[in-house]
Amino acid sequence: MSANNSPTTNSQPIGCHITVNGNELDFNGPPHCNALDFLRNQSLVGSKEGCAEGECGACAILVARSDTEGSRWTSVNACLIPAAALDGQEVITAEGLGTVDHLHPVQQEMADRGGSQCGYCTPGFICSMAAEYYRPERGSGENSGHYGGEHECGPNGFDLHALSGNLCRCTGYRPIRDAANALGEPAADDPVAIRRASSAPSPVATDLSAADTPTGELGRFRRPASLNEVLQILADEPETTVVAGSTDWGVDVNIKGARARSVLAIDRLEELRQLRWEDGFLELGASLTLSEIERQLAGRVPLLGQLFGQFASRLIRNSATIGGNLGTGSPIGDTPPSLLALEAQLVLTSIHGQRLVELSEYFTGYRQTVRAAGELITAIKIPLPLATHTSFQKISKRRFDDISSVAVGYALNVVDGKITTARIGLGGVAATPLRALATEAMLEGKPFTLDTIRAAATVMAGEGTPMDDHRASAKYRTAMLGSSLERFYAQQLAVQNSEKETN
């Protein structure tokens, strides 16, 4: 095993260094080893493996992430993140929050209110609750800390949706909810709260290579220091697997036993982490996590605000990036329908320069796109101004923390009661996400009335080529497309009536 902290230096291998519960630990394991396995090998066995794919939250830990005025304790799934991705970073596990003799306030409330039974899921709940406990925007009042998306805040400002990625099979959620809603503010001398005032550790350039093996199956993990280095590696080694939050690749590693000869991490590259309001465009850096975008937009793009709360769980959104969700080319990703409705464009970058591609032209087949070898999604551009009537609808077996059977994004402009433009993005009804072009044409120029919507719903039901699978039948998906448009109309009427009552 060899490693060094510079992707261009062949100096003495010094491995990865991760600060865990205040102690610096060395990591020299195989590049595919996830953070959960690394921690458990350090006898930090509070975090558990439940599902190994980011659905149960039993493995949750806290990572210090950069924030506008210091750092933010962010809960993530340790089972998905490569341990090497935490090189130079600062982590807290459930063991680091409190001790048997001096419980952390979150642990104390869980104990007092019977929030734990078998205890398997409890450390994960503790870490997710602690992230919300230390959330800077949290305050008293049921509407405290809202910044778009789905929220269910208690009287202490605790957002119960912070726990949407944590599952408990034996205790029941009422005592856990009671514990969350009983939490006060962190004490003035709380060291974890005080830590927020200091900057999070800067990203470390990492190069971790497995010992030579006949097949090279253990591979190499790199986090370059700059975008230029990333692009050069992609040009020289086009077979490289690019990861950001690793919420997709991590599942393949755990469940399918996938291994890559070369893994390239781009999650902390500052060039890919900017959100800019420019003349005529909103630009989102591809490596911004969904939670970061949600927080920075603060509801200013309502369509995305509706999407965020229904995208997987808070634990996943804290790691998953918007560029990564598009990069997989999945036909059931939740961001493409909304971004298609918003007429988004992708910035594709290589060592040869940049090119701008309409998202509607990006997908070419099942998990296939126009992105060429050596190209990287570096930003997503959304034209301004935004449409006046928007909505995101996700049809799935569960409302939250589930994969969609059908997803629809709507963006209509209505002027003096007439639909001037209509953009509708669809997911889950074909081999690729797509625009409902026939329905859009049917709507444009027509009055925004129930008769128009019903006529267009018939056309909408024929969009795409839905198929039968374990999530839904083709017939069901077709029915959902037609009813979705009528639901959208009902939502817009409700909004209009609410605005009239307010005025």
What digits encode the pLDDT tens for the residues 213-235? 444 457 899 999 999 999 999 99
Longest dimension (CA), the chain: 73
To the nearest whole percent, how much of the chain has pLDDT over 70? 93
pLDDT bin (cut points 50, 70, 90) of residue 460 is very high
**Mean pLDDT, residues 157-164:** 94
State pLDDT tens for residues 389-409.
999 999 998 888 889 999 999
**Mean pLDDT, residues 480-494:** 95
Tell me 436's DSSP state: -
At residue 169, the pLDDT reads 85
At residue 152, the pLDDT reads 85
- Integer Cα distance of 387 and 423 in angstroms: 9
At residue 141, the pLDDT reads 53
State pLDDT tens for residues 98-148.
999 999 999 999 999 999 999 999 999 999 999 999 999 897 554 455 455
CATH number of this structure's domain 389-502? 3.30.390.50
Burial label for 265, CB within 10 Å (0-12, 13-18, 19+), is buried
Phi-psi region of 51 (alpha: psi -120 to 50; beta: other; left: phi over 0): alpha
End-to-end CA distance of the chain: 68
At 406 the three-state DSSP class reads strand
Other CB atoms within 10 A of residue 212 CB: 8
At residue 216, the pLDDT reads 47
Strands (E), 188-266: 206-209, 220-223, 241-243, 263-265
**Mean pLDDT, residues 182-187:** 96
- Integer Cα distance of 503 and 498 in angstroms: 9
At 274 the three-state DSSP class reads coil
User: Residues 431, 331: contact at Cβ < 8 Å?
Assistant: yes
Report the range of poorest mean pLDDT among 68-72, 301-305, 448-452: 68-72
- Integer Cα distance of 343 and 415 in angstroms: 19
At residue 398, the pLDDT reads 84
Does the 1-223 domain belong in CATH 3.10.20.30? Answer: yes
- Integer Cα distance of 214 and 417 in angstroms: 69
Higher model confidence: residue 419 or residue 497? 419
Every domain of the chain and the residues it spans? 1-223, 389-502
Q: How far is CA 226 from the centre of its chain?
A: 23
